Structure 1
Amino acid sequence: MAILITGISELVTCDETLEGADQSQRLGILRDAAVVVGAEFEDSPTTIRWIGPAVSAPEADWSFDLGGQTLLPGFVDSHSHLVYAGDRSAEFAARMTGEGYDGGGIATTVEATRDASDGELRSLLTARIDEMRSQGTTTVEIKSGYGLEVEEEVRHLRLAHEVTEETTFLGGHVVPPEWRHDRAGYVDLVAGEMMDAAAPYARWVDVFCEPNSPHAFTGEEARAILEAGQDAGLGLRVHGNQLGHGPGVQLAVELGAASVDHCTFLSDADVEALSGSDTVATLLPGVEFSTRSPYPDARALIDAGVTVALATDCNPGTCNSSSMPLMIALAVREMGMTPAEAVRAATVVAAQSLRREDIGVVRVGTRADLAVVSAPSYLHIPYRIGVPIVKTLQV
């Protein structure tokens, strides 16, 4: 069945190849536009079938009018930790009074999540996915990392795989308390038995490479985990340079990781390495907001030729927000990005960080993962900060 969407005041395609579109901000904007979507088969994904001026729209089986709203690709949240139980609001309150963050609170979530049943975790996960979709997110990457035992990591990845194909094995999140006196043994476990058990449920492997934290992993420990992930056929992602300068970015680029995330503390050499690579720098401004840390300098990264994406890092400790519109607003207000750059970073570039070409863009043949802005322009996303004007379009 073909569905015609009309009444689009501004269609933000994020397609730089679209002829006749306004490409002044690299957003491929069409005004007074229409879109036709449909599924080729009953169980196949709904895809974009036609894009163009509303006056030229073809007939369809059904149509509806957006009444002058903005249409854009659904947000791609390429970094989240949604399989968890428990609450760390007291930790947030403590940081607001000056307490620092070093990753130690993760153990609290590990304990609560291990104690939760499948049913409890599934219910919590479903609610978080619904919350994201209500704010325009249509694709989400979900990491494990709150199990840190073989059976628990597999259990969390299995639950995550029920709601997304973008699942990431993060056994290398922190060293759990029971392994604190045998770090090498835990690294061997993650890179060996745990990796073997988790790989069938994961597309990616990630590691928290942060020598500035006593709980996370050094460069060599991270390398061992990432190389084992490569050998298991997983793509690479890295938590890097969040708490201070370190080897995370350089390691990610050297190994060809799809994304290195956080990038709060970068040297000139780190920026140079990123600018000459295919590794995306995924910035997570909600973390800086929630930890009172300095924001990454997105402006400097973009000007240096680095590919920059945005994600929420939705998690119970350092950013308990599922709002991609908030991340866009923070990127514009605090990190020097233009609204257009931030929207691209949350859609087509975030898709690039997942090595996906079928999402994050409105183009004939791509998935009809769309979001609506209750406003005449995408500029209202950062302009109306905190107002729920973006939602997923159900087609």
Structure 2
Amino acid sequence: MSRRSTLLTNIGSLVTNDPAVDGSPLGLLTDAAVVVEGDRVAWVGAARSAPEGTDEAVDAGGRAVVPGFVDSHAHLVFAGDRTAEFNARMSGRAYTAGGIRTTVAATRAATDAELDANVARFVREALRQGTTVLECKSGYGLTVEDEARALRVAGRHTDEVTYLGAHVVAPEYADDPAGYVDLVTGPMLDACAPHARWVDVFCERGAFDGDQARAVLAAGAARGLVPRVHANQLTEGPGVQLAVELGAASADHCTHLGDADVTALASSDTVATLLPGAEFSTRAVYPDARRLLDAGATVALSTDCNPGSSFTTSVPFCIAVAVREMGMTPDEALWAATAGGAAALRRTDVGRVAVGARADLALLDAPSHVHLAYRPGVPLVSAVWRAGVREV
């Protein structure tokens, strides 16, 4: 059976992320067209040269098309929310209701069906805003069974599933963090490894120190999971150096970096994934993207969607904040949210519009991708194709 084909034509500005197009990282084409066959991009070029005979034609009306966003850091398997915590924080009051433990309790009490429905809702919400690839972590169960079921739920919605049993020390082990690390690297890993691609750890004061994080990542790697690290979010610490040393795909947050951290990232394949939603929602200092980019580091932008510190699924919002607050240009921010996210997931089939790539496309109700930062908060994504299927 032949694969259905679609011609998307009259594209005013097409971001391909293929430098061969124009010598720039975005690989911009004007007056462009794209042919999709099945789930892949089959042709890219000038609209006037587009092949004929496709099953369907879509007129972009001179608007911009960008690759689907690749959100490489999200915590979607949870129940409840933390409205009271956010409200207190934004009102200048101390909040003492337990933070992440509130979410852990709600998540443990939720049914599989409730958790699945929540993830499905967030995935749909993200898709409407142009996100076609989502990574999803566990980390709000913190028992063997609750972490394993979180990964099973996540796996129904994405292939990019991350084991984050080492999110914080479980409340039952508050007085025995070493015992919890033993659980995370032993029985919990045994139950979770078959359901995950990645292993992650929150390497931070109040969570896991460098030695504990190393043990978690090494144990995961021994089971075939690829490391990622929550690194240097709240303070300078060993997270970034550990990520680079162990060949982690990404070091995420990267808010507080020393010169050696920047140099290490710039000289490695570890992607610095920046999560401006977290700083926005906690009124914290933003990471210095300009410093990382000027040093030559690969930078990704992601939402960090979670109920405590960044309850957003909007990559366009993160792009706008990164441009306004983190020293990124609109071009750099878009690249980071597409090709950068793909690099953080070690994928070459997404985050770009090129022959053979997966057909993930977002049509903007705007003449240029710059409008993502120029018109913050405006729902500019008017159509989305994921793996060749129009979803929005």
Q: How does 1:218-257 map to 2 (within 5 A)?
A: 218-257=209-248
Partner of 1:293: 284
Is 1:29–2:20 an aligned residue pair?
Answer: no
RMSD: 1.4
* 1: CA distance, partners of 2:210 / 2:62: 51
- Give identity over the alignment, percent: 61
Q: What does the per-residue CA deviation read over 1:42-77, in whole Å, with 9 as the maximum and x for residues that have no partner?
A: xxxx10000010110001122111111111100000
Aligned counterpart in structure 1 of residue 146 of structure 2, from 148, 152, 164? 152
* 2: CA distance, partners of 1:70 / 1:120: 37
* 1: CA distance, partners of 2:340 / 2:60: 26
Is 1:17–2:20 an aligned residue pair?
Answer: yes
Partner of 1:328: 319
* 2: CA distance, partners of 1:138 / 1:194: 30
Q: Is the 8 A contact 1:169 1:204 kept in 2?
A: yes
* 1: CA distance, partners of 2:195 / 2:321: 33
Q: What does the per-residue CA deviation read over 1:169-219, in whole Å, with 9 as the maximum and x for residues that have no partner?
A: 0000000111011110100000111111101100000000002x2xx1011
Equivalent residue pairs, number: 382
**Segment of structure 1 superposing worse, 78-87 or 97-106:** 97-106
The alignment's TM-score, normalised by the length of structure 1, stands at 0.95
Q: Is the 8 A contact 2:85 2:97 kept in 1?
A: no
Aligned counterpart in structure 1 of residue 251 of structure 2, from 238, 260, 274? 260
Partner of 2:5: 2
From the superposition, tell whether residues 224 and 272 of structure 1 become closer, same or farther in structure 2 (CA, over 3 Å): same
* 2: CA distance, partners of 1:105 / 1:374: 39
From the superposition, tell whether residues 208 and 100 of structure 1 become closer, same or farther in structure 2 (CA, over 3 Å): farther
Partner of 1:275: 266
Aligned counterpart in structure 2 of residue 71 of structure 1, from 62, 65, 75? 65
Q: Is the 8 A contact 1:149 1:194 kept in 2?
A: yes
Partner-residue secondary structure (3-state), 1:206: strand
Aligned counterpart in structure 2 of residue 58 of structure 1, from 51, 54, 74? 51
Partner of 2:127: 133
Question: 1:17 deviation in Å?
Answer: 2.4
1:92 aligned partner, one-letter code: F
* 2: CA distance, partners of 1:342 / 1:321: 17
Question: 1:27 deviation in Å?
Answer: 0.6
* 1: CA distance, partners of 2:85 / 2:133: 29
Aligned counterpart in structure 1 of residue 359 of structure 2, from 365, 368, 373? 368
Partner-residue secondary structure (3-state), 1:159: helix
2:347 aligned partner, one-letter code: R
Q: Is the 8 A contact 1:325 1:390 kept in 2?
A: no
1:368 aligned partner, one-letter code: A
Question: 1:102 deviation in Å?
Answer: 11
From the superposition, tell whether residues 34 and 115 of structure 1 become closer, same or farther in structure 2 (CA, over 3 Å): same
Point out where structure 1 has 5 or more consecutive residues left out of the alignment.
Answer: 40-45
Partner-residue secondary structure (3-state), 2:61: strand
Question: 1:11 deviation in Å?
Answer: 0.6
* 1: CA distance, partners of 2:228 / 2:198: 7
* 1: CA distance, partners of 2:329 / 2:183: 44
Partner of 2:162: 168
2:30 aligned partner, one-letter code: R
Partner-residue secondary structure (3-state), 1:200: helix
Q: Is the 8 A contact 1:282 1:308 kept in 2?
A: yes
Question: 1:98 deviation in Å?
Answer: 3.5
1:338 aligned partner, one-letter code: T
Q: Is the 8 A contact 2:85 2:95 kept in 1?
A: no
* 2: CA distance, partners of 1:100 / 1:197: 38
Question: 1:101 deviation in Å?
Answer: 8.8
Partner-residue secondary structure (3-state), 1:141: strand
* 2: CA distance, partners of 1:226 / 1:36: 42
From the superposition, tell whether residues 330 and 101 of structure 1 become closer, same or farther in structure 2 (CA, over 3 Å): farther
Aligned counterpart in structure 2 of residue 178 of structure 1, from 166, 172, 180? 172
1:38 aligned partner, one-letter code: E
Question: 1:296 deviation in Å?
Answer: 0.5
2:126 aligned partner, one-letter code: M
Q: What does the per-residue CA deviation read over 1:103-159, in whole Å, with 9 as the maximum and x for residues that have no partner?
A: 951111010001000111111111110000000000000000001001111101001
Question: 1:14 deviation in Å?
Answer: 0.8
Q: Is the 8 A contact 1:100 1:291 kept in 2?
A: no
Is 1:350–2:349 an aligned residue pair?
Answer: no
Point out where structure 2 has 5 or more consecutive residues left out of the alignment.
Answer: none
Partner-residue secondary structure (3-state), 1:300: helix
